Every structure is written in C-alpha cells, then in structure tokens.
Amino acid sequence: MKRVSLAAGAALLMVLWAVLLPFADRSSFTIHMIAHMGVVAGAAPLIAIGLSGTRFDLPARWPWFSPIIASLAELLAVWTWHIPALRGLSERSVPIAAIEQLTFLVAGLALWLSCLGGREEGREGRRMAGAVGLLFTSMHMTLLGALLTLSPRPLYGNAQVTCFGIPLGPVVDQQAGGVIMLLVGAAVYLAGGVSLLATTLNSGAAGTSGRRGL
C-alpha cells in the first residue's frame, strides 16, 4: 500500500511538472491553481503515506516538528506565493516557477507527513494536533479561495489567457482558480482533519471501553 501510494504521488508530480506546466499557458491562474492543488492536496499526502514509517519519516526523528508548526509554514508559503508581484515573477521566469513549485511540495509534504508519520508513542496527541493543523489549513485556503473568487477585479494580470484551449478573461480565469482552491484544497484538508479527529475520538472511546471491561 505504501509503495503504491508513493508511486502514485510521484506519477502525479510527473504529470503536473513534466506535462501540464511546460505545455500549458502558465499565465493562466487556473492552470497555476490546478498545479498548486495537485501538488499540496494530491501528490503530497500520497507521498507522505508512502514515507511514513520509513527512514524518511522526519517527524519520527524530530518530535518537535509538529503539525501546528507545519501548518503555519504552509500558510506562509501559500499566501506569500499568491502575492501578485511574486505570482507575476513566477509566470515570467522558469527558475522562479520551479522554486515556487518546490516550496509548495516541501510545505505540503511537511504538513501531511507531520500528521501521518511520527513515532508510535504519543500518536494520539500527534493525530489531534494534525487534525487542528489540517483544519486550520482548510480554513485559510477557504479564505484565500473565497477572496480570489469574489474579487471584482483581476489581481494577476489584465490579458486574456488560454486554459486547455479555452480563452478566458482575467477575472473569469482568477475566479476559476479560486473555485478550484475551494473545491479541492479546502475540501481535501477538511476531510483529512475530520478523519484524524474521528480516528482520535474512536481510539479514545475504544480505550475507555477496554478499561471499563477490565
């Protein structure tokens, strides 16, 4: 299962970085958001599942690296790279775009691995912290997605772009990107947080039942 997950995450990265971004219109904010969400909400959790419990499970080596810290790091990465000036640099420069994508991958992988990995001892506490971190990430992605969708003016250029052969005006392109962040990013992190919370509550209930039975 872990090998399949790791291979699926690597394959998704290959599609995004070797097929989508090189051949699509990188000035399209919708294309950017597809790549962004594909990395942090698709490839990152799959790779984290594959790396958990291995020698690359960094939270097991660094117990201080908590999901709360990782969620704040992702907040910084996501909001910084959506500053209009930096978004423009990424569109015009391949090296800057590569740094942007690597930042998204490192931030996303750090968060998911901090939630899904780590040592067995203290796992329930890490799960609870992971639930908080993922739900917090879902909230700030919802906020950013809503701001992008509801903005009455384009923040990332004024020219018409092409998304998979479909011409889009700047406002529509930005709104479509915001909707993708809302539907994919916010939903995946919300589902992850709720899942960790439910697992923690169920394990706690099972432990209480076991003690009562004794």
Residues 6+ apart with CB under 8 A from 70: 107, 110, 111, 114, 115, 133
96 falls within a domain:
yes
H or E, element range at 163: strand 161-163
Question: Quick check: is 130 in a domain?
Answer: yes
How many domains does the chain contain in total? 1
Q: Give the whole-angstrom CA distance, residue 75 versus residue 93.
A: 23
Q: Distance between CA 80 and CA 99 in Å, rounded?
A: 13
Is 125 part of any domain?
Answer: yes
pTM above 0.75, yes or no: yes
Residues in a beta bridge with 161: 168
Q: How is residue 193 written in tokens? A: 């947080």
Secondary structure (DSSP) of 54-115: STT-HHHH-TT--HHHHHHHHHHHHHHHTSHHHHHHHHH-HHHHHHHHHHHHHHHHHHHHHH
182 in a structural domain: yes
Contact in structure between 74 and 40 (CB atoms under 8 Å): yes
| Residues 38, 181: Cα–Cα separation, whole Å | 10
- 60 found inside a domain: no
CA distance 164 to 2: 33
Q: Distance from CA of residue 102 to its chain's centroid?
A: 12
In a domain, residue 72? The reply is yes
Give the pLDDT confidence score for residue 212 in this predicted structure.
53
The residues facing 162 across adjacent strands are: 167
Q: Is residue 106 part of a domain?
A: yes
The pLDDT of residue 208: 47
Q: Is residue 93 part of a domain?
A: yes
Q: Can you list the residues of the chain whose pLDDT is less than 50?
A: 206, 208-210, 214
User: What is the domain extent for residue 77?
Assistant: 2-54+65-202
